[in-house]
Amino acid sequence: MSTFTALTIAGSDPSGGAGLQADLKTFHQFGVYGMAAVTLITVQNTQSVARVELLDADLVRQQVEAVLADIPPGAIKTGALGSAAIIEVIASLRLNAPLVVDPVMVSKHGHALLAPDAQHALKTKLLPVTTLLTPNTQEAAALLGTPVDTLAQAESAAIALAKLGPKAVLVKGGHLTGPDAIDVLYVEGRVLHISSPRLDTKHTHGTGCTYSAAITAGLAKGQTLEDAVRTAKAWLTRALASPPLVGRGIGPVNHSAS
């Protein structure tokens, strides 16, 4: 029996709801053997982020190369990368697997997780080698310098971001309004709506990390990109609907959702 494998290159959340901890839980739930290269360490919980320390870019490179040399991942995702140096290191590696880039810029508590100069490196170095870019509307707006406040603007943003190099773009619509949470997937020249009922919940810590990790797991198992996104969206909706109710702030989703 073959083992499905996936690698996350991301920051650490000691409270377990976001970052590489969320990624590894999600990989496991999808039956994928998960590996992790650490980019930065945060001091955070469900209430706040108190400190962020970036690892040396060469140490990040060595972590990833150690995994690639021994356990080739079926798919790879990035989370919080923190600096231009780390982004450039990741972009320079021969990953030889689908790459999902979650452009983590700001924590749920408003703490910056990507230096301003790193946005240029993200756009010019990493996006050209990206399989799927997964920004929320706020991140899409920051990358493009234009508002993304409506579904039509999300569609335009997905197309515009694809021109920066990624093979596909998923603009997540969680910050939009309306009865449904509609994500816009631009792939192979098509604009698709990936929809689910909007849930009234404050337990959204790590949602973006978890969603992109679920997509990565699907790609690692050989799903098409569209199928991986649709499967991940449906599972994330169930995870949002059944939070574990831990912490006194913005709680995490249920990574054990079936």
**Topology of the domain covering 5-241:** UDP-N-acetylmuramoyl-L-alanine:D-glutamate ligase (3.40.1190)
Could you confirm whether 207 is annotated as catalytic? yes
Could you confirm whether 189 is annotated as catalytic? no
Q: Which of 151, 235, 159 is nearest to 191 (CA)?
A: 159
- pLDDT value, residue 1: 67
Q: Which member of 39, 78, 137, 204 is catalytic?
A: 204
Q: How many CB atoms lie within 10 A of CB 163?
A: 9
Taking only the tens place, the pLDDT of each residue in 50-63 is 999 999 999 999 99
Taking only the tens place, the pLDDT of each residue in 114-169 is 878 899 999 999 999 999 999 999 999 999 999 999 999 999 999 999 999 999 99
Q: Which two tokens stand for residue 102?
A: 């979650």
Q: Which member of 74, 134, 174, 209 is catalytic?
A: 209
The 3 state secondary structure assigned to 147-159 is CCCCHHHHHHHHH
Q: Indicate the range of 107-116, 120-129, 205-214 predicted with least confidence.
A: 107-116
Q: Which member of 172, 174, 210, 216 is catalytic?
A: 172
Percent residues over pLDDT 70 in the chain = 97
Residue 109 has pLDDT above 70, yes or no: no
Give residues with Cβ within 8 angstroms of 49, minimum separation 6.
42, 43, 107, 109, 111
Residue whose entry in the numeric block shows the structure tokens 């880039």: 101
Q: Which member of 208, 218, 221, 233 is catalytic?
A: 208
Q: Which member of 11, 206, 218, 251 is catalytic?
A: 206
Residue whose entry in the numeric block shows the structure tokens 């499967």: 231
Could you confirm whether 125 is annotated as catalytic? no
- pLDDT value, residue 160: 98
Average pLDDT across the chain, whole number: 95
Could you confirm whether 178 is annotated as catalytic? no
Taking only the tens place, the pLDDT of each residue in 155-206 is 999 999 999 999 999 999 988 888 999 999 999 999 999 999 999 999 999 9
Q: Are 65 and 95 in contact (CB under 8 A)?
A: no
- Each as own residue / partner, the long-range contacts of residues 58-62 (CB below 8 Å, 24 or more positions apart, any chain) are 58/89, 60/9, 60/86, 60/89, 60/90, 61/89, 61/93
pLDDT tier, 108 (very low <50, low <70, confident <90, very high otherwise): low
What is the CB-side half-sphere exposure of residue 33 using CA atoms within 13 A? 9
Could you confirm whether 209 is annotated as catalytic? yes
Q: Which member of 5, 46, 131, 207 is catalytic?
A: 207
Residue whose entry in the numeric block shows the structure tokens 């590696």: 93
Could you confirm whether 204 is annotated as catalytic? yes
- The domain spans of the chain are 5-241
